[in-house]
Chain A
Amino acid sequence: MLSTFFAVLRRDLLLAWRSRSDVLVTLAFFVIVVCLFPFGVGAEPNQLRAIAPGVLWVAALLACLLSLHRLFAQDYADGTLEQLLLSSEPAVLWVLAKVLAFWLTTGLPVVAVAPGLALLLDLEQGALPVLALSLALGTPILALLGAVGAALTLGLRGGGMLLALLILPLFVPVLIFGAGAVEAEASGTGALAHLLLLGGGLAGALALAPLACAAALRISTD
């Protein structure tokens, strides 16, 4: 039953490794966007500390968006997607495997470097674990929602732009609770409520997004 899941996961991770420059570009984008802010708003520590959660979260969200259009594009062009849709195993399984591989290669590196960048913005050290945790819970939601958008805009002219228009409004709640968690922790009110909401969002997206994504892929290849 899980052979398709592991075959897709293994293949996508192998491909990410063979074209690792793509993965590094996403990560470099994240780092550079965060580093641009002190140049724009000035190096006043109090100001940087105040905007740090929002800046890190928006940069993570844009980095995710940057690589989302790649999620299905190659498989669509070379016919692999057709073969996957003809698999005798449920589409939900391999969609989940693709999203997991995507998150492992774009979301996880962002989660890993974000605390380091937070120090650059002088975020309170006590809030660093919450930042990492909120990103670890939030970026999979971004990947799952983004996968639905990527599937819907597959093969369209100007699909990349349309994908951004379609999916960015859906990222807003994740952004609010993700950045909110870090702010709440830094201001001392505790981040538990925000993190629980993010966790709930992740559980919901995990259950529903693969179904929507599989349906959208069937429509796109029709």
Chain B
Amino acid sequence: MLEIEDLACLKGDRLLFRGLALRMMPGELLRVAGPNGVGKTSLLRLVTGLALAEAGVVRWHGLGIDRDREAFHRELLYLGHAPALHDLLTPLENLRFACAAAGDEVDEEICMQALVRIGLANQLDLPARVLSQGQRRRVGLARLFLSSQRRLWVLDEPFTALDVAAVSDLAQTLSDHCAAGGMVMLTTHQDAPFAVPPRVLDVGAYAC
């Protein structure tokens, strides 16, 4: 269970939002909405613990996330704006490193299957610099198939640069994760075809 209490975010010397409160239960899919610059990405970074809140707390299973950072990070998957790919490595090398860096030991064969499933079967041996934006995005998203044991998925604009088929496949994967008791928190400006319409949190309502 994820709880946010009275959260405030300061960017530079501007207060983006304050008093933000939220409670997410297992199985929930939450869409963080609001116009550009309202603090959606900042909120996601606060939830992951990458950024420090000006005020308020984020709790995971009743414990502040900075109290037991490593236990929280074991249950968290965050995919940000930047795809975390190195141009000189192949998609397979990038994916294997991403899993190992996060602390998961994943077999090369399983990584390969994930990349094939997300539609990169022909790009496995190419350096990432020759991939298109959508393909780069997919390499990062392939981690979703390998991270079902991580309960909380925090995704920043996961649908950007993806084609229609990939968007609906991704939406299905997210719905499945929630159905299995996981939680998904995402930002998007697109209407994704979710089986159950997601709960919406409008950050604009807490803007200063």
Residues of A within 8 A of B (CB): 3-4, 6-8, 11, 14-15, 18-19, 74, 77-80, 82-90, 94, 221-222
Query: Are A80 and B86 within 8 A (Cβ)?
Result: yes
Query: Are B52 and A88 within 8 A (Cβ)?
Result: no
A160–chain B nearest beta-carbon distance, Å: 21
Cα separation A158 to B156 with both chains bound (whole Å): 29
Closest residue of chain A to B97, judged by CB?
Answer: A11
In chain B, positions 5-60 with a C-beta closer than 8 Å to chain A are 48-52
* Beyond known contacts A15-B88, A83-B84: 11 more, CB 8 A cutoff: A11-B86, A11-B93, A14-B93, A78-B85, A80-B101, A82-B78, A82-B82, A83-B78, A88-B71, A88-B73, A88-B102
Q: Tell me, yes or no, whether B2 is within 8 Å of chain A by CB.
A: no
Give the interface size class of chain B.
Answer: 20 to 34
Query: Are A87 and B73 within 8 A (Cβ)?
Result: yes
Q: Which residues of B contact A88 (CB under 8 A)?
A: 70-71, 73-74, 102-103
Q: Which residues of A contact B71 (CB under 8 A)?
A: 88
Residues of B within 8 A of A (CB): 48-52, 70-71, 73-74, 76, 78, 80-86, 88-89, 93, 96-98, 100-103, 105
Q: Which residues of A contact B81 (CB under 8 A)?
A: 79
Query: Are A11 and B50 within 8 A (Cβ)?
Result: no
Query: Knowing A11-B89, A87-B73 touch, does A82 contact B100 (C-beta < 8 A)?
Result: no
B51–chain A nearest beta-carbon distance, Å: 5
Cα separation A94 to B98 with both chains bound (whole Å): 13
A67–chain B nearest beta-carbon distance, Å: 17
Query: Are B100 and A90 within 8 A (Cβ)?
Result: no
* Ranked 5 nearest A-B pairs via Cβ: A79-B82, A7-B100, A88-B103, A79-B84, A88-B74
Query: Are A78 and B103 within 8 A (Cβ)?
Result: no
Cα separation A84 to B102 with both chains bound (whole Å): 7
Q: Which residues of A contact B73 (CB under 8 A)?
A: 86-88
A114–chain B nearest beta-carbon distance, Å: 29
